[in-house]
Structure 1
Amino acid sequence: MSQPTEPEILLTNDDGIETPGIRVLYDALSDVGNVTVVAPADDQSAVGRSLSGEVGVTDHDLGYAVAGTPADCVVAGLAELGPFPDLVVAGCNKGANLGEYVLGRSGTISAAVEAAFFDVPAIATSMYVPVGDLAFEDVETGRSDYREAARATTYLVEHALEAGVFEEAAYLNVNAPVPEEAAGDPAPMEITRPSRRYEMDAVREGERVVLHDRVWEEMEAESIPDPAGTDRRAVVEGRVSVSPLTAPHSTRHHEALDDLAERYPGTSLSS
């Protein structure tokens, strides 16, 4: 009886190829598949699906460093640089990607969406980083902090393809908590939906307008307002959140819009 071949995996991120999150995933996924890294040469956080058109590429001990965005990396990796993979993995991002409103902003998630247009299933993995009284930029993370994220991603890479998960989902948005202890039982996994909370506002200060994202101000497990079953609640309460998502965006039939189109002057003239 022939043994199943190891999957080909294209690994990218948006924090940059030199960050600990991608190195931890590379090491973990190399135990279960053949991993080729095509990742940004530097930090490309929150660039969404921006494309550069032309990018510089240099060899790296993990694969290739691209002077461009995560979407650039996926296109370059799938169309030219790497073996065509069974799966694209993006991450692990330092900081969670939670809620509907971040899906188009995140470079990590955008890499997974780009893969979906190539009909390649993908997993976007991020780690929730509680900041307390610190600014997010001042929170340092090490390799051990990504243990839950690596464990969950490896499990999904090993089993999701064979289980038929990607017959329904184009990609999985995975968010893992920071491990509570140096060693211990894995955090439980919960299938979730993206939270619909949106609390952006803006304040003018002279010649500037300062934008505030207030969603992140309510992230205490005892008082988080997001309902059960959402990604934010799962992660804050210490579970690995897995949201199955689709791309491209789906559409529904709208009778009201049909009626408007039928009454449009040009439409009535051609009837």
Structure 2
Amino acid sequence: MSDPLEILLTNDDGIDSTGLRALYDVLSEQGNVTVVAPATDQSACGRSMSHEVDVEERDLGYAVYGTPSDCVVAGLAELGPDPDIVVAGCNKGANLGEYVLGRSGTISAAVEAAFFDVPAIATSMYVPAGETPLSQIDLGAEEYAEATRVTSYLIEHALGAGVFEHAAYLNVNVPLPDGEPAPIEITRPSKRYEMDAERNGTRVHLKDRVWERMDPDTLPDPEGTDRRAVVEGRISVSPLTAPHSTNHHETLTALAESYLETVTANDS
């Protein structure tokens, strides 16, 4: 009999979040789950890192007074056994588009794992908020059923299928459950970026306008993107790499080669 899977579970909503608990309950049926999660909500903290953090043992696992990246480093290097996979989530609210990849604490936890050469899955749930702020929307464990089901499926099948030989981590975004399981679409992150700012006296209000255009009938994102898939009711799975790749650039290479000659001539 093969050894049970070792799973490191974290998030950015905090160790007491419903989404983390829902994943813990389901993933515990697949293997040994070690929870190392922030003690408080760390949403949108990106890959912020601390030099030292306090840790408490809770019923569910370790509560770290730090960021998701802190949790992954602490979990992989000290607090847990060597995991077969790191799972971050389930986040309340989607993480869609290229611009959130460096902003989301959920995704940043997966990226941190990738630098340790450990496969990772970041799972988030799209919640159509409308006029109601996401923070005021309460979700029960049953509403994470789609997210926990697909995360469990990917853990069971993706590791053995060699998916992580080509992807460092998977960014998974899931629509709210709607009776029947939703299909999976392999996607790429949307390139849409619509940040805005407005000054009011001594304050500047920053607004993310991307979320204002999430009507399936008028969604501007093309086919194959994560935003379109989720808004139309499909599970978006984006296979991504870390660290980010660099491109060969002939013009920049030429500038580099002429640098010393140019500055020497200018100084003479």
Q: Shorter-chain TM-score: which interval?
A: over 0.9
**1:175, CA displacement in angstroms?**
0.4
State the Cα RMSD in Å: 1.2
What letter matches 1:38 in structure 2? V
- Stretches of structure 2 that go unaligned for 5 or more consecutive residues are none
Distance 1:185 1:144 in 2: 14
Query: What is the match of residue 220 of structure 2?
Result: 225
**Number of residues of Structure 1 aligned to a counterpart in Structure 2:** 264
Question: Residues 89 and 123 of structure 1 are in contact (CA less than 8 Å); yes or no, is this contact kept in structure 2?
Answer: yes
Distance 1:227 1:147 in 2: 28
Query: What is the match of residue 160 of structure 1?
Result: 158
Question: Residues 38 and 63 of structure 1 are in contact (CA less than 8 Å); yes or no, is this contact kept in structure 2?
Answer: yes
Partner of 1:43, secondary structure, is coil
**1:267, CA displacement in angstroms?**
8.0
Identity of aligned residues (%): 72
Distance 1:231 1:44 in 2: 23
Offset from partner CA, 1:175-212 (integer Å, 9 cap, x none):
001112xxx32111110000000001111111111111
Query: What is the match of residue 133 of structure 2?
Result: 135
Query: What is the match of residue 87 of structure 1?
Result: 85
Please report the TM-score for the alignment, with normalisation by the length of structure 2: 0.96
Distance 2:33 2:145 in 1: 18
What letter matches 2:164 in structure 1? F
Please report the TM-score for the alignment, with normalisation by the length of structure 1: 0.95
Question: Residues 261 and 267 of structure 1 are in contact (CA less than 8 Å); yes or no, is this contact kept in structure 2?
Answer: no
**1:266, CA displacement in angstroms?**
6.0
Query: What is the match of residue 232 of structure 2?
Result: 237
Partner of 1:72, secondary structure, is helix
Distance 2:49 2:64 in 1: 12
Question: Residues 262 and 268 of structure 1 are in contact (CA less than 8 Å); yes or no, is this contact kept in structure 2?
Answer: no
Q: Pick one of 24, 27, 41 that aligns with 1:26.
A: 24
**1:6, CA displacement in angstroms?**
2.2
- Stretches of structure 1 that go unaligned for 5 or more consecutive residues are none
Partner of 2:29, secondary structure, is coil
Q: Pick one of 29, 50, 53 that aligns with 1:52.
A: 50
Distance 1:63 1:211 in 2: 36
Partner of 1:111, secondary structure, is helix
**1:62, CA displacement in angstroms?**
1.5
What letter matches 2:205 in structure 1? V
